[in-house]
Structure 1
Amino acid sequence: MRILKSRGARMATAAVAATLVVTACGSDRDKGGDEGKGKDTFVFGAPGDPSSLDPSLASDGETFRVTRQAFEALIEHEPGGTKMVGGLAEKWSSDATGKVWTFNLRKGVEFHDGDKFNAAAVCANYDHWYNLKGGYQSSAFSEYWQYMFGGFAKNEDPELPKSNYKSCTAKDENTAVIEVNEASANLPGAFSLAPFAIHSPKSLKEMDKQQATAEGDAITYPEYSQKPGILAGTGPYKLKSWNKGNKEITLEAFDGYWGDKAKVKNLVFRTIDTEDGRRQALQAGDIDGYDLVAPADVKTLEQAGFQVPTRDVFNLLYLGFTQEKNKALEKLEVRQAISHAINRESIVKTQLPEGGKVANQFMPDTVAGFSDKVTEYAFDTDKAKSLLKDAGESGLKLNFCYPTEVTRPYMPAPQDIFESVKSDLEKAGVKVNPKPMKWNPDYLDATKTGACDAYLLGWTGDFNDGFNFIGTWFAKYDKQWGFKNDKVFDAVNASSKVVDPAGRVDAYKAANEAIMEFIPGVPISHSPPSIAFGKNVNPPKVSPLTQENFAEVSFK
């Protein structure tokens, strides 16, 4: 997930209250008292605000955590794993070229607004994304479409690539055929992504009446994406309300759901942007679960009887550079120096949960394509100083951005990690100018538009394929990095076009080796994020993709 997925997400422009008042949820939630008997509301403490109720306009994990409960894609992932399984499509297949994808759809599925799900609805959605215009063509709103399918039917920006999407045909009521121009490593994984969840035809008609704007750093979301009422999916829950003042989104169980019905009637996501705040709310009984447990809190909670399962490692934290913002960063020796200056082992030992790993490339070793031959940059302050001197940058200054009011799966304590990196850089002679920014919307907008010399971000994989990691950042020029290197771009793109699985893995390894030779950023660590639940909760299966299905939740 960009940032998710986290892979630079976009957040809503409207400001929300920065101070959270933790309160009990209300009489519905409290029925039955501590035992949970009769409780019909599950409250989950999220570490950040979502940006949109329309997942196709988002690229952040907090949006997808919510929308995934209400909207479904053609393909899903098995509970608790990364294997792709049937979603709205029971089966799928491609031809030998990898360009024609056929989906055999589920029968008897209805949208929340009463519309019927069928092949025509699938094609209406993909054609809607393909025909986006105006502000919607900004990566602020269509980042995932652009990464997965390229440009649009009519590109309004000459820098946009040609679209790889060709067409969608409703072969019959329950068979949709999607064609692309070239085989891609993004497929079939893209068909499983939250941004490509299917909306009802009625929703699409109303969505087409509204516009979004993206001018410079300022973006304005369409009204329909900021309040329930128009959007309808097929998921086990449907959108009910979004109280931005109280930082709460409420969903209600959908009685007409085609699969296993949600076990709890009401699902509430409440933003609590500090680790201590979420832990205290769980301990007080104000919430029933929360994500991104601080490593130091895991044993404390478990000893008190709370449930704290840990997800498998499937993410990356990195230090990003914006080379065009600070020309010194265009020098390879400077990027190498910064890489040698950071004590990543210390960050893993002091800041991450047990099981965290030092990263030496831009994907975890659990993904096929991980190479054991990449150039490595061992912690060496003296070498960092020497490289800076050789580059004529002994007095290097960096405007270093870091996020506040948030916790991420790959970054449990952003300020603490920032302070650790800052200290390392200063020991190597780099002058750091701290730039703390609120995660929503300031930080994500600043990093995406290339406003920071250096910054901390990360990524949780959307699906288990190497291109979903390295292709996210290094398949083409991106303002966020300001990095231009045809050798790297060519290696990454070549890997995505290899149809043979074994050959593709070898190509990923070669791409990783090229990336680390030119070190456009510094991969720091991989973290196994923990998630906590109340003593009286039967939790869902936890997902390495952070794709928990809250319809599985019940009370003991």
Structure 2
Amino acid sequence: MRITSSRVVQTIAAALAVGVIATGCASERGKDDGEGGDTFVFGAAGDPASLDPALASDGETFRVTRQAFEALIEHEPGGTKLVGGLAESWDSDKTGTKWTFNLRKGVKFHDGEKLTAEAVCKNYDHWFNWTGTYQNSAVSYYWQTIFGGFAKNESKDAPKANYKGCTAKDELTAVIEVHEPSANLPGGFSLQAVAIHSPKAIDAYKKQEATGEDDAITYPKYSQEAGTVAGTGPFRIVDWDKGNNEVTLERFDDYWGEKAGVKKLVFRTIAEESARRQALQAGNIDGYDLVAPADVKTLEKEGFQVPVRDVFNIFYMGFSQEANKALKKKEVRQAIAHAIDRENVVKTQLPEGGKVATQFVPDTVDGYSDKVTTYPFDTDKAKDLLKKAGEEKLAVDFCYPTEVTRPYMPAPVDMFELMKADLEKAGIKVNPKPMKWAPTYLDATENGTCDLHLLGWTGDFNDAYNFIGTWFAGYDKQWGFRDDKVFDAMKAAESEPDVAKRVELYKKANEVVVDYLPGVPISSSPPSIAFAKDVNPPKVSPLTQENFAEVSFK
């Protein structure tokens, strides 16, 4: 459901976008000399926030950087099983605090540097020694989530550092130590945010600073233009044309593994899904992500390839108790949960296979509980709870993203409008706060400046802690609450080394979180991705971690 004015604006924007594309780079596509296709153009839903994945937390950034940077551990193509990345093999001691990585031989960075254990340690020590704005959770989100704080924490809200150090045992053996065992490991070693950079590039990074705070952060220049960042991946980043919303990568011919099937890879931002679909149909792009549910069958009938990923995400409405003190009252949070018609959101906005969420993990992840508190749609009950809390005239600032589509959130504006209408029926005054996805919206939500906001999560690796531990293991500015019962439940699950016991603790933690209700879990969705008829597509990933080096033209 869209309001009329929104529909008109979006239709015009879609037409303009396709018009621009049609006059653009269609001649770049296709095949050339039999050594692999020339250029593969992919329609992205949003701009990347940074060319340095260590400074990012969003999927649009990682879609680009994943083609150029590799982590110590990766996931099997199309699956969630951990396999060797830059490390051929790895293991830990019995305590789970010392991790040994046996690196591949003959790996080169894009700038000619060699992969060594010292290079790996230089990366981890670089992140651990961040200061100033780099310690803002909007900038170093994943480092803090997986490894805690820094060599010297500058904020009382920064988590305790769990990273202890890294040692180069020999040229190709790196040993990373942490203070306490963590459910985030070894999965955390597979994150793009800790992908390995050239030591020469690290030296250049140290000469630049991120500045600002909250939702007014300025990222370092090297992360906003090509030329400095250097990884080991099958492609290297050669240009970021912000005027044309394009990032261009070229095949790295000294890549240690199988060479990419195309010579050039272009990510072109086309914010409107309808414009991305039309660009594919017109032959101006070779693929795009997050196909609108209504378009899947149409594209398939026209001969396009539209594989569907497995469900591995969660979509939620988040509350910031620091931004709006009324949200500290449990009755208010419960009222909002009862006010939202989640079944309607799933029915009208998600593809076939979408599900109403009862907790902050999808039911495909071990640790999902059948015993959580439920909050069925009930407008009258929502009104009663607001009255009980003395908040019958509650007003909220409700932030939502523009110029983006996410796997868990196919149409942010439409989903916002549905929930806004639900809240208003319960007597809540809603002040809409639209924001551009990157970096404005991401920074604002991460820093807890929105009363209500819409976000979600696609799992980084197959462990329930990667979902609930990401948000609720301790104080997080996004949510702005402190509750020992929640934090203790997370700690118990994180520190349990026995996997079977840990899964049971995850179930209990899910029950504790949903009872406290820091936000409202809305839904899970199986996102589609589309490719042209003449493309041999990559294996699609439930983690949305497609490797575009697998792409070629038929």
Taking structure 1 as the reference length, the TM-score comes to: 0.94
Determine if the alignment matches structure 1 residue 221 to structure 2 residue 219.
Answer: yes
CA–CA distance in structure 2, aligned partners of residues 137 and 340 of structure 1: 37
CA–CA distance in structure 2, aligned partners of residues 499 and 421 of structure 1: 40
Deviation at 1:350, TM superposition (A): 0.8
Specify the alignment match of 2:415 in structure 1: 417
CA–CA distance in structure 1, aligned partners of residues 99 and 114 of structure 2: 22
CA–CA distance in structure 1, aligned partners of residues 138 and 85 of structure 2: 27
Which residue of the other structure, out of 254, 257, 262, is the alignment partner of 2:255? 257
CA–CA distance in structure 1, aligned partners of residues 36 and 150 of structure 2: 50
CA–CA distance in structure 2, aligned partners of residues 284 and 232 of structure 1: 34
Determine if the alignment matches structure 1 residue 197 to structure 2 residue 195.
Answer: yes
Q: Give, as a single letter, the amino acid of the residue that structure 2 aligns with 1:215.
A: E
CA–CA distance in structure 1, aligned partners of residues 360 and 421 of structure 2: 23
Matches within 5 A, 1:149-548: 149-548=147-546
Q: Give, as a single letter, the amino acid of the residue that structure 2 aligns with 1:115.
A: E
Specify the alignment match of 1:73 in structure 2: 71
Percent sequence identity over aligned pairs: 73
Deviation at 1:305, TM superposition (A): 0.3
CA–CA distance in structure 2, aligned partners of residues 154 and 322 of structure 1: 27
Over the aligned positions, Cα root-mean-square deviation in angstroms equals 1.5
Are the aligned partners of 1:28 and 1:39 in contact in 2 as well (CA < 8 Å)?
Answer: no
CA–CA distance in structure 2, aligned partners of residues 154 and 94 of structure 1: 26
Are the aligned partners of 2:339 and 2:426 in contact in 1 as well (CA < 8 Å)?
Answer: yes
1:71 counterpart SS class: coil
2:271 counterpart SS class: coil
Are the aligned partners of 2:37 and 2:552 in contact in 1 as well (CA < 8 Å)?
Answer: no
Specify the alignment match of 2:137 in structure 1: 139
Give the 4+ runs in structure 1 shifted more than 3 A: 30-33, 36-39
Specify the alignment match of 1:44 in structure 2: 42
CA–CA distance in structure 2, aligned partners of residues 183 and 113 of structure 1: 35
2:346 counterpart SS class: helix
Specify the alignment match of 1:25 in structure 2: 25
Cα offsets for 1:490-542 (capped at 9, x unmatched): 11122101001011111111111110111110000001110000010000000
CA–CA distance in structure 1, aligned partners of residues 392 and 229 of structure 2: 54
Q: Give, as a single letter, the amino acid of the residue that structure 2 aligns with 1:239.
A: I
Are the aligned partners of 1:138 and 1:214 in contact in 2 as well (CA < 8 Å)?
Answer: no
CA–CA distance in structure 1, aligned partners of residues 134 and 118 of structure 2: 23
Q: Give, as a single letter, the amino acid of the residue that structure 1 aligns with 2:25.
A: C
CA–CA distance in structure 2, aligned partners of residues 30 and 257 of structure 1: 23
Are the aligned partners of 1:322 and 1:482 in contact in 2 as well (CA < 8 Å)?
Answer: yes
Deviation at 1:216, TM superposition (A): 3.8
Deviation at 1:134, TM superposition (A): 2.0
Deviation at 1:302, TM superposition (A): 0.4
CA–CA distance in structure 2, aligned partners of residues 31 and 516 of structure 1: 52
Deviation at 1:32, TM superposition (A): 6.5
CA–CA distance in structure 1, aligned partners of residues 440 and 308 of structure 2: 30
Are the aligned partners of 1:318 and 1:524 in contact in 2 as well (CA < 8 Å)?
Answer: yes
Structure 1 alignment gaps of length 5 or more? 1-18
Deviation at 1:217, TM superposition (A): 2.6
Are the aligned partners of 2:30 and 2:40 in contact in 1 as well (CA < 8 Å)?
Answer: no
Q: Give, as a single letter, the amino acid of the residue that structure 2 aligns with 1:468.
A: N
Deviation at 1:296, TM superposition (A): 0.5
Cα offsets for 1:47-94 (capped at 9, x unmatched): 000011110111111110000000000000001111100000011111
CA–CA distance in structure 1, aligned partners of residues 30 and 534 of structure 2: 13
CA–CA distance in structure 1, aligned partners of residues 220 and 452 of structure 2: 31
Specify the alignment match of 1:4 in structure 2: none
Segment drifting more, 72-81 vs 208-217:
208-217
Deviation at 1:200, TM superposition (A): 0.8
Q: Give, as a single letter, the amino acid of the residue that structure 2 aligns with 1:25.
A: C
- Evaluate the alpha carbon distance shift between residue 38 and residue 119 of structure 1 in structure 2; reply closer, same or farther with a 3 A threshold: closer
Deviation at 1:259, TM superposition (A): 0.6
Are the aligned partners of 1:101 and 1:178 in contact in 2 as well (CA < 8 Å)?
Answer: yes
Q: Give, as a single letter, the amino acid of the residue that structure 2 aligns with 1:182.
A: E
1:139 counterpart SS class: coil
Deviation at 1:158, TM superposition (A): 3.3
Taking structure 2 as the reference length, the TM-score comes to: 0.95
CA–CA distance in structure 2, aligned partners of residues 297 and 520 of structure 1: 35
Segment drifting more, 19-28 vs 114-123:
19-28
Q: Give, as a single letter, the amino acid of the residue that structure 2 aligns with 1:532.
A: A
Deviation at 1:169, TM superposition (A): 0.8
Specify the alignment match of 1:11 in structure 2: none
CA–CA distance in structure 1, aligned partners of residues 544 and 111 of structure 2: 28
Q: Give, as a single letter, the amino acid of the residue that structure 1 aligns with 2:385.
A: L
Deviation at 1:170, TM superposition (A): 0.8
Deviation at 1:445, TM superposition (A): 2.2
